[in-house]
Structure 1
Amino acid sequence: MGENQFLIDSEKLSAADLRIKRRIENDRSARADHMTYMEGMEQIQSDIMEKVLRQMDAYHYEHYTAEDVKRALAKDICGIEEFKALLSPAAEPFLEQMAERAKIETSKHFGNTVYLFTPIYIANFCENYCVYCGFNCYNDIRRKKLNYEEIENEMRVIADSGMEEILILTGESRKASSVEYIGEAVKIARKYFRNIGIEIYPVNVDEYRYLHQCGVDYVTVFQETYNADKYEKLHLMGHKRVFPYRFEAQERALMGGVRGVAFSALLGLWDFRKDALATALHAYYLQRKYPHAEISLSCPRLRPIVNNDKINPLDVGERQLCQILCAYRIFLPYVGITVSTREEKHFRDGIVKIAATKISAGVSTGIGDHESKYEGKKAADTGDEQFEIADERSFDQVYQAITDEGLQPVINDYVYV
């Protein structure tokens, strides 16, 4: 992918785009050093980022050979060096053997179970300018923030479908979606769901502690890309621009008492092999530091967004994605691996038999439209979606598809005592 794939070309800008460009140039956050914490951002003492980035920078995957891959697959325990070999181009001809090994590891640690959840987007206001995201503050979309009554109605509709795990998402705006607002949404969710995750803007330890007290079980944060220089070029303004604060979000969440954390890069933004390495190492080092934590990985690829249907992962095909997931499973056999509705039905149905342990179902990335999607009722006021999904099956359809494959769908395996 070209270095300037998502960058603004000032010679091709419309008048509206030029106004955006000038606003960016005048915004203090756009001029801020992307490696320097902004006011109010908590800085913790941790060496994990340095470890991950050092390994990533030193990874020259073109140096690995077929013999390196064979040795990696022959070992009972996959270490970091073996994982690097399995992510390399040299491993692509061995994808069938990797899949067989991954399937064994998945069965050993998870049996034949597949976990189901659904996301609910409660607001799409955002203060960041991330050029690949449909929610970015300069994208001309319908904005909406659900009130508490609307949140409860949406959650009731989802719960009535049979779902027991939910992931609450917002755009990254403290002003529109305060920590207190998110906390109240979590309290409502606790009335309907057994397991609650959040995917919001990164916050400080005390705020994660508050959200955990409201009922949050796990926290998901996408680093997007682990290349700090590329990260700066993709995040032109807003608090998300600060690379280390985002990197340390999962650790702050664990310090705040949450049970589990999830990691991901958005594959296709940068070199997908290095980003996949960094994602897994981020989880690996944090697990060693916090052995009680439940760890999960996701593997999202770029998807088209409102007003831009050309945003796609140019170098990450399904074969490469399968290689990454199999390598993840062999290296980290105990972690959960989630495959979202960004991927097509045929891929999701296949990968749950090999490496993935969790998939979403009955998904909408818009705001306030679950009732219309689930029950056919016309929604009076909705907000636009973050990205286009590829698998639009309902909860019942996904549940049945998993059953038809001889697997066991799981909607909850956690009991509060």
Structure 2
Amino acid sequence: MLDDTDILKIFNSADPALLEQLAQEARILTKQYFGRAVSLYAPLYLSNHCANQCVYCGFQARLDLPRRKLDAQEIDAECQALARTGIQNILLLTGESRKHTPPEYLETAIKIAKKYFAGIALEVYPLETEEYARLNAAGCDGITVFQETYDQERYKILHPAGKKKDYAYRYQTPRRAALGGMRQITLGVLLGLADWRQDILALYAHLRSLEKEFPGVDYTLSFPRLREAYAYKEKNYLVSDTDLAKIICATRLLFPRAGLNLSTRESAAFRDRAVHFGVTKISAGSSTAVGGYIAPDIEVSHNVHSAPQFAVNDERSVAAVKAMLERQGFDPVFTDWRCLVK
């Protein structure tokens, strides 16, 4: 069993033969636990209102940009447009503003999305246990929440204002979600905010603690890399493709049952390779703008398009990503579970 010292040696190694060995071992484990299945999902942005001042984010409160929140009609139109692509698992996202997108609004969005999708998850501001239970009852079965960085000194600098500056409250969010009945929890760090080696080790420790307390939850880990967002252009902690490959392989060796997610922040070429050594979940046909999917033939009350939260690097359609996976011998999975209780 690898320990933290072994992991750091892997992360610091420049030996290409070691990475190839890791990739081969990760490939074997992934096939053993997941077969050739790769799950597909898409994000759907409901709002870009935010009360936090995360200095690296395209939605942060201090930025002067058009703010949008989809109403019920527009949410339905977005869901229709996205469902036509074949996607059956969606991640509903908002900026972190309880005032603009209260739990009642999220509940409405979930009930609309439930008409079109088998799997619904949320990536929103942290909620209380009873609120997670309420949204779970409405049809939401998972959450995504990133600690962003586990370096508490860096965390203070990067989150100067807003509820998100409360490190401990955010850290306990996955636990509250599990207590609220969420069956799937995605954790992650935003690579590039601090020393990625220490962040990944801390992420592993966080996951182990949750697995011990909530062994029945389905966990996924995600490793988005920081992209330039408006004024934030710090490059002290950049993560290379080789670094990210090491992270994915090491994670698979340590957590053979965990899902590993790679979003469209990454290039098509890197994602095409990553499914061979550990990644089991990828987004496809993604838009990171509020109102980004509405088709021209759907009438809505006004133009709801807005600036995206971050740039999409893999712009392929759902059909193109599906075809890529099939060419490489994988089974694209659109629905990996369905709730039979009504």
Decide: shared fold, TM above 0.5: yes
SS in 2 for 1:129: coil
Equivalent in the alignment of 1:329:
252
Deviates more, 1:311-320 or 1:169-178: 311-320
Q: 2:126 aligns with which of 174, 196, 202?
A: 202
In structure 1, the residue matched to 2:308 is: 385
Alignment deviations for residues 325-352 of structure 1 (CA, whole Å, 9 cap, x no partner): 1000000010000000110000000000
Distance change in 2, residues 1:285/1:309 (3 Å): closer
Change (3 A) 1:123 1:311: farther
Contact 2:37 2:331 in 1 (8 A): yes
2:160 corresponding residue in structure 1:
236
The structure with the greater share of residues assigned to helix is: 1
What are the superposed Cα offsets for residues 78-106 of structure 1, whole Å, 9 maximum, x if unpaired? 45554444334367651110101110110
Report Cα offsets for 1:51-101 as digits up to 9, x if no partner: xxxxxxxxxxxxxxxxxxxxxxxxxx4455544443343676511101011
Describe the superposition over 1:210-263 as per-residue Cα deviations: whole angstroms up to 9, x where unpaired.
Answer: 111111111110100001111000001000000000011001000001101111
Flag the 1:244–1:93 CA change in 2: closer, same or farther, 3 A. Answer: farther
Q: How does 1:78-97 map to 2 (within 5 A)?
A: 78-89=2-13, 94-97=18-21
Structure 2 counterpart of 1:402, from 293, 312, 325: 325
Alpha-carbon contact 1:217-1:258 (below 8 Å) kept: yes
Measured after TM superposition, the shift of residue 111 of structure 1 is: 0.5
Of 196, 199, 203, which residue of structure 2 is paired with 1:272?
Answer: 196
**Between Structure 1 and Structure 2, whose CA radius of gyration is higher?**
1
Aligned to 2:24: 100
Residues 196 and 237, structure 2, Cα contact 8 Å, conserved in 1 = no
Q: Which residue of 2 is the match for residue 258 of structure 1?
A: 182
* CA distance 1:87–1:397, shift in 2 (3 Å): same
Q: TM-score, normalised by structure 1?
A: 0.78
Residue 87 of structure 1: SS of its match in structure 2? helix
User: Which letter maps to 2:294?
Assistant: E
Kindly report which structure 2 residues correspond to 1:265-344, keeping only aligned pairs within 5 A, or say none: 265-305=189-229, 307-308=230-231, 310=233, 314-344=237-267
TM-score after normalising by structure 2: 0.94
What code does the residue aligned with 1:116 have?
Answer: L
2:235 and 2:123 map into 1 onto residues whose CA distance is 22
The amino acid across from 1:416 in the alignment is C
The residue type equivalent to 2:22 in the other structure is M
Is this contact kept in 1: 2:52–2:164, CA < 8 A? yes
Deviation at 1:314, TM superposition (A): 4.6
Distance in 1 separating the partners of 2:28 and 2:36: 11
Instruction: Output the aligned Cα RMSD.
Output: 1.9
Distance across 1 between alignment mates of 2:232 and 2:167: 27
- DSSP-derived class of the 1:251 partner: helix
The answer for unaligned runs of 5 or more in structure 2 is: none
Q: Following superposition of structure 1 onto structure 2, how do residues 336-375 of structure 1 map, counting pairs within 5 Å? A: 336-372=259-295
Counterpart residue identity of residue 320, structure 1: D
Q: How many residues align?
A: 338
